[in-house]
Amino acid sequence: MGAIERSGYRFEPEFSVISQNGAIHVYHNGDFIEEITFEFTANFRKTTK
């Protein structure tokens, strides 16, 4: 997943499906500003062929 850049801000997402959490790192003109953390839940089905 790639970063999003807008008006001098850069948003870099990272997440773990196994841990079901993640963060968005926010930079402004190359300087780190903030880390926004989040959790999510999802059900993953095992598929067979």
Contacts of 47 (CB under 8 A, 6+ apart): none
Residue 12 counted as domain residue: yes
Residue 44 forms part of a structural domain? no
pLDDT (0 to 100) of residue 21? 94
Question: Per the domain annotation, does 8 fall within a domain?
Answer: yes
Q: What's the gap between Cα 16 and its chain centre?
A: 9
Q: Return the pLDDT at 1.
A: 63
Dist. CA 28–CA 20, nearest whole Å = 27
CB atoms closer than 10 angstroms to residue 22: 16
Structural domains counted in the chain: 1
- pLDDT of the residue at 30: 94
For the entire predicted model, the pTM comes to 0.73
Domain of residue 14, residue span: 4-39
Query: How far apart (Å, rounded) are the C-alpha atoms in residues 41 and 30?
Result: 32
Is 16 among the domain residues?
A: yes
- CB contact at 8 A, 8 and 15: no
Strand partners, 31: 28
Looking at the domain assignment, is residue 45 inside a domain?
no
Assigned domain for 17 exists = yes
- pLDDT tens across the length of the chain (49 residues): 689 999 999 999 999 988 899 999 999 999 999 999 999 987 767 777 6
pLDDT of residue 42: 77
